[in-house]
Structure 1
Amino acid sequence: MSKMCIEPMRHALSGPTMGTRWSALFFAQAGFDQEPVRAALQAAVDEVDAQMSTWKPDSDLMRLNAAPVGAWVAVPDRLGQVLRLGLEIGRASAGAFDIGMGDAVTAWGFGPLAATPDHIRAAMRTDRVPTHDALEIDAGNGLVRKTSPVALDVNGIAKGYGVDRMAETLAAHCIDDALVGIDGEMRALGLRPDGAAWTIALEAPDEGRRAPHSILALQDASVATSGDYRHWIEVQGRRLSHTMDPNRGAPVLASPASVTVVAKTCAEADAWATAFMVKGSLEGGQLARRSNLSALFIEREGTQLRETRVGRLFETRPDPGREADAGNCTR
């Protein structure tokens, strides 16, 4: 009698988080109970949101924001991890990624409050100290203090960190091969059951439609995309994206249409995508090479798109017609 080959079953889980949805795709043998995994994933992203949201007045981040300059504040370990990584990438990017842009984000209407001219003028007039010079962290004791006035906003890294927490949660449930994501931040663990890499559709930077630009194959790596065409405001007939220029306290004026970054962790990819939007394709591409990161810069030239590809993962052009495991919806 021949043995029956039992194919693993596909599990696609999702839930709400951070104003959008998380997703997890993996395969398991018949009879696998997915509900404990779903609950654990939801708890993981809820914890990140509760600690790091700028939309929740009682979050740990907002409690730190409300503390006076010079006062040591106890913060939970996960927020401490994100703050340390944010400062590290802030230094490495010469301030292009800065987690102290909360006042500018709010002033321009990309936070929970509407934009106001007075707040915009104040944000642009502020004499800013780079946050990696304005924040002191005592990691051993879980303490943080501001040495200069700063409004912290970790939205440029928190979703990526949430994806990393989802990956850790699946590993704790002995799931080593999966694809997890929040919006445009995705992390691939291992391989598909057929031994192939996970495939992710990179979205074309088109405001009017959602269409794939190309396909990226990932194994044990993360990807994040930042762009100018999903979250923006119009000022005097000019469209301005949500990415803030730390030098101006205002939206970047000449950013790429989108930047996609591949890194080991999703938090790193998330933060670097923002940094490269600020830097642009020339300086950003040079920095990506020095930092050993793979990055895809897409810029508009009239009605055409021009690409700058950095790193081995983007050296060959993917086939946009290939079916993807998940879409990468730009933030």
Structure 2
Amino acid sequence: MFQMLGTPAIPSNSVPGRHVISGKTMGTRYSVVFYSELDFDAEALQRELQEAVDRVDEQMSPWKADSILCEINRMEPASWIDLPDETFEVCEAALLTCVESEGAFDPFVGDLVSAWGFGPETDAPDLSKAKQLQGDWNSRRREVEFDRKNRRLRRPATCRLDLCGIAKGYGVDCLSQVMHRWGLPNHLVSIDGELRASGRKAGGSGWQVALEAPEADVRREALRLEVSDVAIATSGTYRKIRNAGGRTVSHTMNPQSGAPVKNELLSVSVIAESCMTADAWATAYMVMGCEKALAHAQHAGLDAIFVVRTPLGAVDVLATDPELLAA
């Protein structure tokens, strides 16, 4: 994942005009770093930032029993449910990415996620259930109905909605939107490594961010970028892992095989205009594998960085634009 560089854990006034606000969300933390010489109500700003991410979490968390997402998954099959604006926007983007990625990104993998031990119910994989789900996954998913005109959705009994592959990126975008509404365009916002950079730091330089090496037990910088007016999201297989049937598996599901992703990719970082877009495509590219994902990113005009394990066991880094690796 990408991390901000030089961000203190608490607000600091050591740099004139530099401010930091952070808080809890989605089982992790968000951070907002920004520059402004203008007077503003820091408590009111933090309150609005917190409310923005709370709305996303309260609507889309699979771990909150009263969330909109959990309500959708409890609904009787074939029953329509009206969607609030935020959930509608994320579902629309998720389903569009599902079509464009030919199912590599699929927001209806909730049952698969749970069967492999990554859902809210238990961390113990149920391999017999996982095997039952593998057979006709794509045909079940196609039974989902999304009514854009009336902003509602209904699903078949066999598909549970899971927005974890896109909601965090959307939350980052919501934080950035709050900052723009407050007239604070020079900011770097992040939720657990998914980030969006807007404007520039004091002095005109871009924002420094670092790509972590894909190692489970240590945090080490592998690559550094200077960015402005872009969002970056990363998906990887080196954290959030389980032992299932004697092998280590990751939390990213391959909807087409009905099993966790297993290919040469260790991580994918996508650079896009919105973090929601970057988040969804980072997940899709992990499923596609390096060759297909690289070709798609180049065709779609998305910048992406791929960390791969070579057949000899070495780690290599590829990018759609070689200049990304020369930064």
TM-score, length-scaled by structure 2:
0.90
Which aligned pairs between 1:161-180 and structure 2 lie closer than 5 A? 161-180=170-189
**Alignment pair present for 1:91 and 2:99:** yes
Instruction: Please give the residue correspondences for 1:48-63 in structure 2 after superposition, counting only pairs within 5 Å.
Output: 48-63=56-71
Q: Is the 8 A contact 2:319 2:325 kept in 1?
A: no
The answer as to whether partners of 1:187 and 1:265 remain within 8 angstroms in 2 is yes
When structure 1 is superposed on structure 2, of 213-222 and 267-276 the one drifting more is 213-222
Contact persistence 1:8–1:30 (CA under 8 A):
no
2:318 to 294, 304, 308: 308
| Cα separation, partners in 2 of 1:192 and 1:254, compared to 1, 3 Å | same
Name the CA distance, whole Å, in 1 between partners of 2:129 and 2:269.
31
1:82 to 87, 90, 111: 90
> Could you tell me how far apart the structure 1 residues matched to 2:178 and 2:119 are?
29
C-alpha separation in 1, matches of 2:30 and 2:97: 25
| Whole-angstrom CA distance in 1 between matches of 2:157 and 2:100 | 20
**Residues 1:299 and 2:308 aligned together:** yes
**How far apart, in 2, do the equivalents of 1:196 and 1:50 lie?**
36
Q: For 1:267, which of 276, 283, 289 is the aligned residue?
A: 276
Matched residue SS, 1:128 = helix
Shift of 1:235: 2.7
Unaligned runs of 5+ in 2: 1-14
Assess if the C-alpha contact under 8 Å between 1:98 and 1:130 holds in 2.
no
Residues 164-218 of structure 1, C-alpha deviation per residue, up to 9 Å, x if partnerless? Answer: 0001111111111100010121001111121111111111111121011111222
- Change in Cα spacing, 1:141 to 1:316, as seen in structure 2 (3 Å) is closer
After the TM superposition, which segments of 4 or more aligned residues of structure 1 sit over 4 Å from their partners? none
More moved, 99-108 vs 7-16: 7-16
The 3-state SS of whatever aligns with 1:156 is coil
* Superposition map of 1:1-331 within 5 A: 8-29=16-37, 31-114=39-122, 115-129=125-139, 131=141, 133-146=142-155, 149-301=158-310, 302-311=312-321, 314-318=322-326
Between the two proteins, the alignment pairs up a number of residues equal to 310
Q: Distance in 2 between matches of 1:79 and 1:278?
A: 24
**Identity score, percent:** 39
| TM-score using structure 1 length | 0.89
Deviation at 1:69, TM superposition (A): 2.8
Offset from partner CA, 1:119-164 (integer Å, 9 cap, x none) = 3233334543374x33322233221122574111000000000000
* SS, match of residue 163 in structure 1: helix
Quote the RMSD (CA, aligned, Å): 1.8
Name the aligned partner's letter for residue 128 of structure 1. N
Q: Distance in 1 between matches of 2:280 and 2:248?
A: 23
In the superposition, relative to structure 1, how do residues 298 and 68 fare at CA in structure 2: closer, same or farther (>3 Å)?
same
